[in-house]
Structure 1
Amino acid sequence: MIISIAAISGGGKTTITNELQKRLDNSKALYFDDYEFEESPADICKWVEDGADYNEWNLEPLVTDIQLVLDDNTMEYIFLDYPFAYLNSGLAEFIDFAIYIDTPLDIAMARRIIRDFSGGSSEDIQRDLSYYLLRGRLAYLEMEKSVKPNSDIILDGSLSTEIIVEQIIKELREKEKNPNSIKV
């Protein structure tokens, strides 16, 4: 079963993906941010301003790795730390279950500042926050507008990691029992 986990930057995708992989045997995690996609928008904010066509991303390197993991018969789960849910047609056919972690923007921003600027200066933080207000916020809102409604389940990103992981495991078990029972 291939499960995509989406959230805005700072929304908890990587933390949740890592915890799921620890908790579920015979699983593999692939991380969107680990890839260099040659055919992708150079400027995310301009891409959003131009209408956010998710098919502008050629995700072939990620697709290739998914296919390699699928060849391993011991794997039960592939977790994708991946921001697009079903919106990229090249990857959509592989996804069995799309999860959106709905993290409030203020919590995500606080997490990003802690994560990205632990050794940075206050000027670096101010520059990042100014850019967020000027252009970056639109990318966050795009995810809420497009990715969130194109996911099978939406979970409250303000909850603890443990509770979110338990909710996901419960949903996965339910889906295994009844493959047609997807909650939206």
Structure 2
Amino acid sequence: MYKTKVISIASVSGGGKTAVTKELRNRFRHAETLFFDNYDFHGAPDDLTQWVKEGPDYNQWNLDPLIADLKSLIEGDVPPEYIIMDYPFSYKNDKLKNFIDLSIYIETPLDIAMGRRLIRDFPYAASIEILNDIEFYLISGRDAYLEMEDTIKPNADFIMDGAMTVSKLVDAILKKLKIESSSTVS
């Protein structure tokens, strides 16, 4: 029998968390995924840029719904070998940190992250919407990205190069984790 290993994947918005989480799930035989963005958290700040300016308190987020799903998977009749979480805070939330066995930070250059985010969030938007988003990023949104770089990145166990393709990034993560071929899908 094995103990379920919980891996968190963090990065800035557009940094590759979701794509890497999904691809890691595809590479493991017995894995489940949880996605931070699928939850509504009580206590979550309404204005992330203001939250960052005031000195972010990662414990302000009540992560109980995510923790309940995590426990349910771990304590299930057939727990997965791995749970991969698309989760931006690494070990910074006191209620969740003890569940995490390994935190990976994807260090994606901010221009690449911005380009990916614009493609993802504005595929059919008018140019004024895109320009407004870029202006917001330059005026105050960038601070949230820098907060991730300054606080979450040094808190992770591994820092990976987010400029790589998803496939190469996942290959590098698996190599870093020294995953045996018997644990992954062939």
TM-score tier (shorter): over 0.9
Deviation at 1:174, TM superposition (A): 5.8
**Does residue 1:76 correspond to 2:81, yes or no?**
yes
Counterpart of 2:42?
38
Is the Cα contact below 8 Å between 2:104 and 2:156 reproduced in 1? yes
Structure 1: unaligned runs, 5 residues or longer: 176-184
CA distance in 2, matches of 1:170, 1:97: 14
Match of 1:142 in 2: 147
Q: Of 48, 53, 60, which aligns to 1:56? A: 60
CA positional deviation for 1:172: 2.6
Per the normalisation by structure 2, the TM-score is 0.91
Q: Give distance in 2, aligned partners of 1:137 and 1:24.
A: 35
Separation in 2 of the partners of 1:74 and 1:53? 32
Q: In the alignment, residue 166 of structure 1 is paired with which amino acid? A: D
SS for the counterpart of 1:78 is strand
Q: Is the 8 A contact 2:11 2:105 kept in 1?
A: yes
Q: Distance in 2 between matches of 1:159 and 1:80?
A: 20
Name the SS for the 1:93 alignment partner: helix
Aligned-partner Cα distance in 1 for 2:178–2:86: 20
| Match in the other structure for 1:170 | 175
- Using the TM superposition, name which of 67-76 and 121-130 deviates more: 67-76
CA RMSD of aligned residues (A): 1.2
* Contact kept? 2:73, 2:79, Cα under 8 Å: no
Greater shift, 68-77 or 90-99, is seen at: 68-77
Within the alignment, does 1:25 sit opposite 2:29 as a pair?
yes
The separation in 2 between residues aligned to 1:171 and 1:87, in whole angstroms, is: 23
State, as a whole percentage, how many aligned pairs show the same letter. Answer: 49
Normalising by structure 1, we get a TM-score of: 0.92
Q: 1:41, 1:15 → 2: CA distance?
A: 25
1:112 paired residue number:
117
Could you tell me how far apart the structure 2 residues matched to 1:36 and 1:8 are? Answer: 19
* Residue number in structure 2 paired with 1:85: 90
Task: Give the residue type in structure 2 aligned to 1:57.
Answer: W
What corresponds to 2:138 in structure 1?
Answer: 133
How many aligned positions are there?
175
Cα displacement string for residues 42-68 of structure 1 (whole angstroms, at most 9, x for unaligned residues) = 110000000011111110000000000
Deviation per residue, 1:116-138 (Å, 9 max, x gap): 11111101101100110111000
Q: 1:162 is paired with a residue of what secondary structure?
A: helix
